[in-house]
Amino acid sequence: MTSQVKVLPSGHTFSVEAHETILDAALRQNIGLPYGCRDGACGACKGKVLEGDVCRDGYQEKALPENERVQGYALFCCARPQGDVTIEAREVSGAGDIQVKTLPCRVEKIEKVHDVAVLKLKLPVSERLQFRAGQYIDILMKDGKKRSFSIANAPHDDAYLELHIRHQPGGSFSEYVFNQMKEREIMRFKGPLGSFWLREESDKPIILLASGTGFAPVKAIIEHAIHNGVQRQMVLYWGARTLADLYMAELAASWQAQHANITFIPVLSEALPQDNWVGRTGFVHQAVLDDFDSLAGYQVYACGAPVMVEAAHHSFIQERGLPEDEFFSDAFFLSKDSGASK
């Protein structure tokens, strides 16, 4: 059975086949619904069902609490319409402009920085991946599973695709990357995916919030902004446990040294005595709250641990007046076998 979905306030309509979720059908027809994990865990695709009914299955309760469900909210990556429905969702302009491809790639270089592997992937000579800074790809495993990782390079610097993969002890994929993966190995991936990218039509100052390897897409966004001559004020807060966990701190510091509109503020939550740390400490989102009485005129881009993204989203909007539609996020989740970083 085919259902019809109408999106408000845009008025766009699209069809959903019986085997599809609302999000899958929207993406297939170039309707720009926002999304992140596509696995019912992050809440980025949340919207309201205004008319009709949907089947809500396979999501995590923290992404869709019961009180929101009874108000009619759904995660469109998990929701299947039961007949025609009308939904309310904020669409992402330009989301359907880039083709999602499945391509082979070669592992050109593996560089290990502390507990992060920086992979450089080379595409076939005849192929080029068009993507927006901040998006991610799915590595397609031979067992049929997938692993999602943000692209850490900007689109203009596309000789390689750069991925940052943190070592998760016991995680099947990260253990493979750290202990078995060889250079020149061939893999396959699907992408680009996600709706986390810089909204360049705005002139608002920007706060970028990263924890751990959430730095990867933020790096891409900043390098893209520098390349395009964006002069908006950008403040990067990068949170980690110890000094070594800021695995590219020198690069972030160089942005601040070379560009007057960029500020880098590292924040450590569990600094070691040998770190001799005299900088900011505590939770990274709290550092933003300490520095800003109001975020009413800002955009925020947050990426990293779900608990950080969720805390920032709540406190920035409720306590600092950030407009809800100016908070953009991509939360990283571990797979069931702890093999993925997103």
3-88: which CATH topology? Ubiquitin-like (UB roll) (3.10.20)
Tokens of 225: 């902004």
Taking only the tens place, the pLDDT of each residue in 43-57 is 888 999 999 999 988
Q: How many CA atoms lie within 13 A of 181 on its CB side?
A: 24
Residue 184: name the closest of 274, 73, 107, 299 by CA.
107
Tokens of 74: 């759904």
Other CB atoms within a 10 A radius of the CB of residue 317 amount to 16
- The dihedral built from the CA positions of residue 210, 215, 217 and 218, taken in this order, carries a sign that is positive
| Residues 164 and 211 sit within 8 Å (Cβ to Cβ) | no
As a whole-number percent, the residues of the chain with pLDDT over 70 amount to 96
Alpha helix (H) residue ranges in the chain: 22-28, 66-70, 172-179, 215-227, 249-258, 284-291, 306-320
| Residues 70 and 56 sit within 8 Å (Cβ to Cβ) | no
Distance (Å) of CA 149 to CA 55, 114, 146: 29, 18, 10
According to DSSP, the β-strands at 186-193 and 136-140 are antiparallel
At the second CATH level, the architecture of 206-331 is: 3-Layer(aba) Sandwich (3.40)
Break the chain into its structural domains and give their ranges: 3-88, 101-193, 206-331
Q: What per-residue confidence (pLDDT) applies to 341?
A: 47
At the second CATH level, the architecture of 101-193 is: Beta Barrel (2.40)
Q: What per-residue confidence (pLDDT) applies to 247?
A: 98
Tell me the Ramachandran region of residue 287: left when phi exceeds 0, alpha when psi lies from -120 to 50, beta otherwise: alpha
Distance (Å) of CA 82 to CA 32, 63, 150: 22, 22, 34
User: Which DSSP state fits 279?
Assistant: S
Taking only the tens place, the pLDDT of each residue in 156-185 is 998 999 999 999 888 889 999 999 999 999
Report d(CA 298, CA 321) in Å as an integer: 10
What is the enclosing helix (H) or strand (E) of 187? strand 186-193
Q: What per-residue confidence (pLDDT) applies to 322?
A: 98
Q: How much is the mean pLDDT over the chain?
A: 91
Write the DSSP assignment of 216-253 as a string of letters: HHHHHHHHHHHHTT--S-EEEEEEESSGGG-TTHHHHH
Taking only the tens place, the pLDDT of each residue in 137-156 is 999 988 888 999 999 999 99
**Helix, strand, coil percent values for the chain (each to nearest 5):** 25, 30, 45
* Pairwise pLDDT comparison (310 vs 27), residue with the higher score: 310
HEC profile of 119-168: EEEECCCCCCCCCCCCCEEEEECCCCCEEEEECCCCCCCCCCEEEEEECC
Other CB atoms within a 10 A radius of the CB of residue 31 amount to 21
Q: What per-residue confidence (pLDDT) applies to 339?
A: 40
Report d(CA 42, CA 148) in Å as an integer: 13
Angle between helices 284-291 and 306-320 (to 10 degrees): 20
| Residues 285 and 313 sit within 8 Å (Cβ to Cβ) | no
| Res 34 pLDDT > 90 | no
Q: What per-residue confidence (pLDDT) applies to 340?
A: 41
